[in-house]
Amino acid sequence: MLTRFDALNVETALRGAFFDAPFPPADDRAAWDLLATTVGTQETAAWIAAAERAAGEPVPPLPATLYLEYRRIGRREGYQVPYRLRRRRLAELAVGECLEGQGRFLDPILDLAWAVCEESAWAFPAHQGDLDDPDHPILDLGAAMTALALAELDHILGAQLDPALGKRIRREVDRRCLTPYLTRHDNQWMYSVPGHMVNNWCGVCNGGVVGSAIYLEQDPARLAEIVARAARSLDDYLGSFDVDGGSTEGPSIWAYGFGYCTILADLLERRTDGKVSLFDEPVIRETAQFPLRTLLYRGTYVNFSDALREGGQTAAHLAYLSRRLDIPDLMRLARASDASDVGRQELPWALRRLFWTVADEPAGEFAPARHDWFRGMAWMIARRDPADPDALVLAAKGGHNAENHNQNDVGSLLVDLGGEPLVAELGRPRFTSATFGAGRYEILANSSLGHSVPIPNGRAQPAGEAYHAEVVEHAALPEEDRLVLELRDAYPPEADLASLCRTVALHRDSPRGWVEILDRARFAGGPGRLETQLVTFADVHVTPGAVLLSGETARLRVEYPEAIAVEVLEDRGVELSAGPMDVRRVRFAAPEGVEAAIRLRLVPA
């Protein structure tokens, strides 16, 4: 329990320690010149070129009317794109200046940092809605990340910038973040309460706010109060993970929240000489392995809920965890992770890209296990042969419909072949004002009608923790991985279910393996209609007894019994995070009856 770190114990640790900062200030030219040599000429030149481009651009404007777009038309991008561009350019300029050390980027850095301090709100429009109330600043993801970025900018370059900037940074971080953090109790992201479990916000906001305080707060007693409050909050955050370390938010959102939690854990150890350590918690080691256990293929991950399928993992984060927790496979995964973009979004990750380096050892590529199982959230990932890039992968979930970043997807599954999602999770929809509002489950990606689940009597799954699956059986065998779920309680009373049992299995008894889906329904009040749906981005060709799903290179044949009727629904331009996508939903319908069954056999073609 992190609550053992009360304010008195933390203050004692703070007063007896010296802050061993993770990066040297830019005027330590010996350290930065050595780093430039270590990262190499190409990497150094790329950062300096990025700084040159950023220096030649004006500060992106952020007018009030742009902020109000979210409230008026539900659009996030209008404000958030230039907002994030400011911070990305600040990171490029700061790193470029530190690596080059000639002073030519200092004025553009001053202009950008001052402009960020001048912003009326650091909170995203989606989290505030109205224009800023200076007497009640909203402490959200954007505010927390901005606070840490400015604090680390002040640490590395404050001595070379106008002294007024350092004073301004301290004033704004305290007004917008530290004082609200200590004095207000309206931040719902801080603690779990009945009916609400904390999520990635808890990791990001604590990481940003408390991380900035470690740099900027000079009063040990006040800093101790901040850290003690974070310890209580992070207890709830770590408690949100599955007993096996999983997160229902998915690997990409895990990387965001746990990434900032890792930054804070490192800063706390450095500020207290290791006396305050989050890494002593057993769940840390378990959850650090979450991306290892949810990998589908190189760079792609299980994307249940609002998670992204591709990317999302920061190589520097994985490399740090590998070293700190002695998990060699995380370094192997870090080498395979795309480091070209993620690390350059905000200054904290840009710096850690340089200092939390990816090593060439241990040798070899990471290969996941044949089978992974998360007991608490009922996720099963089964792989025909992890060493074969063309092999089948099946992922299926139970759970309930009030999970973090919830989609109504109890019983959903995905099937990959050759690195392609032939039975797909739509994943994260485009975020608008409807995404987290009353219309959330009218969005196809969030509705059970946008997932590969049964549809009894035409009914969709409702939202709420009461709508859940019961794990009947889970088996991991050499020849077969199997998950059996009772889904009756995932549907409303109008579905008229006495039972709805779903069996999903990956079989290894053939050279390329095959996937079985068996849905069996028993209706309570008389004959009913059972349909089962598969969601895909692939081309669909229906023939008697089989449906062919054709991706770019891989093909999957879905075999079905003669009595089953097949219908294909086309959804054009579905708004997903990656842009508009055409989606096809293949529905298999059994003859009406008091009992009904649909058995599908998915075979590589």
* pLDDT tens column, 510-539: 999 999 999 999 999 999 999 999 999 999
More confident position, 438 or 13 = 13
418 and 340 together in one domain: no
Task: Give the model's confidence band at 116: pLDDT under 50 very low, under 70 low, under 90 confident, else very high.
Answer: very high
pLDDT of residue 399: 97
Average pLDDT over residues 206-231: 98
362 domain residue, yes or no: no
**pLDDT (0 to 100) of residue 342:** 37
Mean pLDDT of 106-128: 97
Is 484 part of any domain?
yes
Three-state SS at 386: coil
What are the φ/ψ torsions at residue 10 (nearest 5 degrees)? Answer: -65, -45
pLDDT for residue 195: 86
Pair (27, 175) in one structural domain: yes
Bridge partners for 556 per DSSP = 549, 604
> Which residue did the predictor score with more confidence, 159 or 297?
159
How many angstroms separate the CA atoms of 109 and 89, rounded? 9
Are residues 153 and 275 both part of a single domain?
yes
Amino acid identity of 256? Answer: Y
Give yes or no: residues 400 and 440 share one domain.
yes
Give pLDDT, residue 185.
86
The CATH number of the domain where 417 resides is what? 2.70.98.70
Based on the fold, state whether residues 381 and 411 are members of the same structural domain.
yes
Nearest Cα to Cα of residue 413 among 396, 425, 430? 396
Residue that the structure tokens 């993620």 belong to: 342
Q: Which of 355, 382, 402 is the C-terminal boundary of a domain? A: 355
Q: What's the average model confidence in pLDDT over 294-317?
A: 92
Distance CA(61)–CA(112), nearest Å, equals 11
Residues 450, 562 within the same domain: yes
Q: Tell me, yes or no, whether 267 and 218 share the same domain.
A: yes
Judgement on whether residues 350 and 377 belong to the same structural domain of the protein:
no
| Residue 363 in domain | no
What is the extent of the structural domain holding 236? 2-355
Confidence of residue 434 (pLDDT cuts 50, 70, 90): confident
> What would the pLDDT profile of 5-63 be if each residue is shown by its tens digit?
999 999 999 998 999 999 999 999 999 999 999 999 999 999 999 999 999 999 999 99
What does the pLDDT read at residue 338? 65
The residue-averaged pLDDT of 164-181 equals 98
Task: From 324, 355, 386, give the residue that closes a domain.
Answer: 355
247 close to 19: Cβ distance less than 8 angstroms:
no
Flag whether 361 is in a domain: no
Question: Which element (helix H / strand E) includes 185?
Answer: none
Q: Mean of the per-residue pLDDT values for the chain?
A: 96
- 193 inside domain: yes
How many domains is the chain partitioned into structurally? Answer: 2
Bridge partners (DSSP) listed for residue 540? 549
CATH number at residue 105: 1.50.10.100
Kindly report the pTM of this predicted structure: 0.96
| Per-residue pLDDT at 311 exceeds 80 | no
- Reduce the DSSP state of residue 344 to 3 states and report it: helix
- 360 lies in a domain? no
| Nearest alpha carbon to residue 165 among 101, 87, 105, 107 | 107
In a domain, 366, yes or no: no
* Beta-carbon-side half-sphere exposure of residue 397 (alpha carbons within 13 Å): 30
Mean pLDDT across 429-438: 88
Residues 398 and 442 in one domain: yes
For residue 344, the model assigns a pLDDT of 58
pLDDT at 340 exceeding the cut of 70: no
Give exposure, 519-529, as e/b (b: 16+ Cβ within 10 Å): bbbbbeeeebb
Show Cβ contacts of residue 196 under 8 Å, excluding neighbours closer than 6 positions.
188
Say yes or no: 314 and 449 in one domain.
no
Kindly report, residue by residue over 382-428, the tens digit of the pLDDT: 999 998 878 999 999 999 999 999 999 999 999 999 999 999 999 99
Q: Which of 326, 355, 384 is the last residue of a domain?
A: 355
Is residue 336 situated within a structural domain?
yes
What the block records as the tokens of 386 is 């992890």
In the block, residue with structure tokens 């797909």:
424
If asked whether residues 326 and 457 sit together in one domain, one would say: no
Same domain, 325 and 410: no
CA distances from 543 to 373, 557, 566 (A): 35, 10, 9
Give me the mean pLDDT over the 493-500 stretch: 98
| Rounded CA separation 210/380 (Å) | 36
